[in-house]
Each structure stands twice: as C-alpha cells, then as structure tokens.
Amino acid sequence: MKLKVNFLLALLFSFVFFFDGFSVQAQEKMDVVEMKGGENREGKVTGITETVVKFRYPGEEFDYEIPKTDISKITFSSGRVQSFASAESTIPADGIHAGSSAERHNKIAVLPFAIITNDPGLTVDQLRTFVQSQAANEVRDQYKTLTLQDPMTTNALMSKEGITSDNMNTFTPAELAQKLGVEYVIFGSVNVTNKGATTYSSGATTYKDKKERDSGNSKSKGTAFSSSSSSTTIEYDTMVDLRLFNDRGDNLYSDSRHAFGSGTDAYEGSVSYMLKRTPFGSKYGKK
C-alpha cells in the first residue's frame, strides 16, 4: 500500500513539473521579426498596417513602428510565418511614400513658402517658389551633412500627390516628409504688409551773378534759378516664420522674426538668419 502511494505521489509531481515547464516555455515564446539586414528582433507584434509593423520589446510598454520594407519575415509565437520579401519601395494606394526610413535618411526638402500680403501688386505664386529656391540654396550651402532635394523635384512630387498651397495644411509634417521621400522638411511663411506710400521732396535755388560796367561804376546783376524733385516709395513691413520637422513629426526648430528693411526683399536676411540656427546650421545654438 505504501509503495502504491509513493508511486502515485511521484507520478503527480512528474505531471506538475511537466506542466510548469510547459507553461514557462509558453510564456517565453515570442514573435521574431527578421530584418533584411540580418538582425532578429524578439518581442511582441502588436499590429500591422499597410506601411509599418508595430513591435514591442519584452518588459516595455511602448510600440515601435518598423517600416515593412525593412522586414524580411515574421515568425509568430504560434509558429505562423509571414513573409515581407515582396514589399517594394513604391507609393501605395493611400499615397504615402513607402520608402524605408533608411532611404529617407539625411534627406531634406524645402517646401514652397506661404506668402501673406495685402498688396495686390505682388505676384504671390512666383514669390512662393522664388523664396523656396533662395532658402534651398542656403540649405545647400549650410547643411553639409544632409542631401537637399531639388525644389523642382519637391514641387513635382507635390503636384503628383495633389498637394497645393490651399490644402497643404491638411497634411501632417510626417505625412509630407514620407510622401516626398525625405527625413526632414522645412516650412516657411512670409507676411508682407503694405504700409502705404511715402513721398520725398527736395528743392534748390541757384543764383547766376553778372557784373556790368557803366560810366566807371561797377554794377552787379543776377538771375535766380529754382529746381525741385520728388519721389514716392512704398514701404513694407515683413514677418518671417520658419519651422523644421522630421519624418516622425517632431518639431526640431521653430522661430519667427521681424525683418529689417522696408522693401519687398526684406525677408532674405531673416530666412538666412534662421536657417543658420537650426540643428544643422553653422550658427546652431547662437541667438
């Protein structure tokens, strides 16, 4: 009888040990994300969208977004395998550029500037792209660690995506960066206010002296000549706003400045000043 009881107890402990081991093994089973570069990431896949895989590391509560184009395959804890080898760097149906973050890395685009003015004589559309080109030239000279996307390419991609000056504000900075295939985007606006015309006048009088001799007496005669001129100048007050975002939507730089000067080109100095003080400019950190 005693032998039988011992046998049953041993059998019971064996079952307990087996199920405990199975439970621990099941708890430790994780999803494995195999990257195209050969790296394996173990954790929990919490979601899959059209462009990214949401992934959480063990012991953390934050979900990372990994572009599908960076992933080779996922082996789920259930044993199911999902391959992403066919994912391509194209523009999907929703219009978002599907290039990987590695493809966008260190690329920057300058968007056409928004022009706000009360002067109907200013050609707003031309000024938008002109200021964009000037800012892009400054970026090309200043940001040696970044690759500038030519403004013509930027504007062509925006046109293909249906992005205009009227609807640009309906897209987030992250969406615009992804659609353009860059890591950084620069937004700018110039507010030009016509303060009215000022007229400047000036005048001068000259006297021409002529001496005559009459009967030994010296006489002096002269003629006065007067002249005047006037000019009219339109004076402008200009404010400039500049912002820099990355493809995650983080605002890396933001500033507004009142431009010096009263001409329509007063914005140039302020744009140059602020571009030099972004995290990539030569005057970073200096006010």
Pick the closest to residue 195 from 266, 91, 93, 273 (CA basis): 266
Whats the size of the chain, residue-wise?
287
> Per CATH, which fold does 29-87 belong to?
SH3 type barrels. (2.30.30)
Residue ranges of domains in the chain: 29-87, 101-195+233-275
Task: Quote the DSSP letter at residue 220.
Answer: E
Task: Find out whether 64 and 44 touch, Cβ atoms under 8 Å.
Answer: no
Q: Which amino acid is at 256?
A: S
pLDDT number for residue 233: 75
Segments in the chain below pLDDT 50:
3, 5, 7, 16-19, 21-26, 87-98
pLDDT number for residue 287: 64
Q: Does domain 101-195+233-275 have CATH number 2.60.40.1120?
A: no
| Structural element, H or E, at residue 178 | helix 173-180
State the maximum Cα–Cα separation within the chain, in Å, rounded to a whole number. Answer: 171
pLDDT in tens, 136-169: 999 999 998 999 999 999 999 999 989 998 899 8
pLDDT number for residue 97: 45
pLDDT in tens, 14-44: 554 444 544 444 456 899 999 888 889 999 9
Q: List 64's β-bridge partners, or say none.
A: 55
